[in-house]
């Protein structure tokens, strides 16, 4: 399922706004899907919690917290709305925060929930150094980590956070940077 | 003058529970209104971002954003029925 994928290698059906004619996309990356597990778990908990409360509340003649039924219903409704808002906001933030690696440059699309977006890019002739890191046991087991690019561009450092296959991504970027500096 | 007395009489006749009910209804209306605004912003954002990065799965995200907006209006109707019109 594409809507849950975080790693696309040479995708056929992906394009981006500033793509030049003939420019080929090598990788499109999002944060590894496993990084979403904490908020998904929290959301499931938030969805279940009112059910547990209602089980106790319906079985007792008096409301547990002493609220009127109307107030009780409105609090539960508000709780669910906030949970939906939280899920939607977290998901679209993950979905639209992408890193694009083409045969000509690297593009970082930063999407802040609801209000802003920022697109940074650098060409390979400006890339000075690349590295990657896998910082904990989860990153090692599930093969995701951070990729760093030092550049001579206005934005000094590009950081790809928690992307899948960081060694492959870093290797490809350094290959392109080496090719560009040799030619 | 008489109208002011009528409003005052209405409020005092509501009692504490009645007043709480009115406040809850008003708060629910505000919350639902904020939710509709949020849903509209999400639709707008999804369309803006879909112009930046075009993927085959964007159509599903657009569909879900519209679905959420539709849900927010249906929900507002439900809230109006339950909490305001009764």
- The CA R_g of chain B, rounded to the nearest whole Å, is 20
Tens digit of each residue's pLDDT (9 = 90 or more) over B10-67: 555 666 667 777 888 888 889 999 999 999 999 999 999 999 999 989 999 999 999 9
**According to DSSP H, which parts of chain A are helical?**
37-59, 69-96, 137-142, 166-182
* Number of independent structural domains in chain B: 1
Q: Is residue B30 part of a domain?
A: yes
Q: Are residues A78 and A123 in the same domain?
A: no
User: Do A71 and A20 reside in the same domain of the chain?
Assistant: no
- For residue A5, what pLDDT is reported? 92
CA gap A31, A142 in Å, rounded:
12
Q: For the whole model, what pTM was predicted? A: 0.86
Which residues in B lie closer than 8 A to residue A14 (C-beta atoms)? 53-56
Record the tokens describing residue A19, joined without a space: 């793509």
Residue with tokens 């150094």: A129
Q: Is residue B10 part of a domain?
A: no
Q: Do A149 and A74 share a domain, yes or no? A: no
Is there a single domain that holds both residue A104 and residue A129? Answer: yes
Are the Cβ atoms of A95 and B48 closer than 8 angstroms?
A: no
In 3-state terms, what secondary structure has residue A47?
Answer: helix
Taking the CA of residue B52 and the nearest CA in chain A, the distance in Å comes to 5
Number of domains in chain A: 2
pLDDT in tens, chain A (183 residues): 678 999 999 998 899 998 999 999 999 999 999 999 999 999 999 999 998 888 877 777 666 666 677 778 888 888 999 999 999 999 999 999 999 999 999 999 988 766 678 888 899 998 889 999 998 899 999 999 999 999 886 667 889 999 999 999 999 999 999 988 787
* Residue ranges making up the domain that contains A44: 38-92
Please spell the DSSP secondary structure of A57-109, one letter per residue: HHHSSS-TT---HHHHHHHHHHHHHHHHHHHHHHHHHHHH-EEEEESSEEEEE
CB contact at 8 A, A123 and A104:
yes
Indicate if A169 and A152 belong to the same structural domain: yes
Looking at the fold, whether A107 and A126 belong to one and the same domain comes out as yes
> In this structure, is residue B41 part of a structural domain?
yes
Q: What is the CATH number of the domain that holds A166?
A: 2.30.29.30
Q: CA-to-CA distance for A144 and A123, rounded, in angstroms?
A: 24
A103 and A176 both lie in a single domain:
yes
Question: Mutation test of the interface with chain B: which of A17, A23, A30, A82, choosing the one with the most B Cβ atoms within 10 A?
Answer: A17
């Amino acid at each position: 399922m594409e809507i849950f994928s975080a790693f696309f290698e040479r995708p056929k059906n992906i394009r981006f706004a500033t793509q030049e004619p003939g420019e080929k996309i090598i990788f499109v990356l999002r944060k590894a899907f496993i990084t979403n597990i904490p908020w998904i778990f929290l959301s499931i908990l938030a969805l279940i919690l009112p059910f547990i409360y209602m089980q106790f509340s319906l079985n007792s003649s008096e409301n547990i917290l002493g609220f009127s039924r109307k107030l009780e219903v409105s609090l539960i409704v508000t709780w669910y709305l906030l949970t939906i808002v939280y899920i939607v906001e977290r998901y679209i933030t993950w979905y639209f925060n992408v890193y694009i690696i083409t045969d000509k440059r690297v593009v970082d699309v930063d999407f802040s929930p609801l209000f802003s977006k920022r697109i940074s890019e650098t060409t390979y002739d400006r890339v000075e150094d690349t590295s990657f890191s896998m910082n904990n046991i989860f990153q090692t087991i599930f093969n995701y980590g951070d990729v760093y690019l030092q550049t001579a561009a206005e934005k000094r450092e590009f950081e790809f956070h928690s992307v899948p296959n960081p060694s492959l991504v870093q290797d490809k970027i350094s290959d392109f940077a080496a090719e560009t500096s040799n030619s | 003058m008489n109208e002011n007395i009528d409003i005052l009489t209405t409020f005092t006749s509501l009692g504490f529970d009645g007043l709480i009910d009115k406040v809850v209804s008003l708060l629910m209306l505000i919350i639902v209104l904020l939710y509709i605004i949020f849903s509209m912003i999400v639709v707008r954002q999804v369309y803006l971002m879909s112009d930046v990065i075009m993927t085959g799965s964007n159509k599903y995200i657009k569909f879900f954003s519209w679905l959420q907006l539709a849900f927010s209006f249906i929900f507002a109707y439900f809230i109006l029925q339950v909490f305001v019109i009764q």
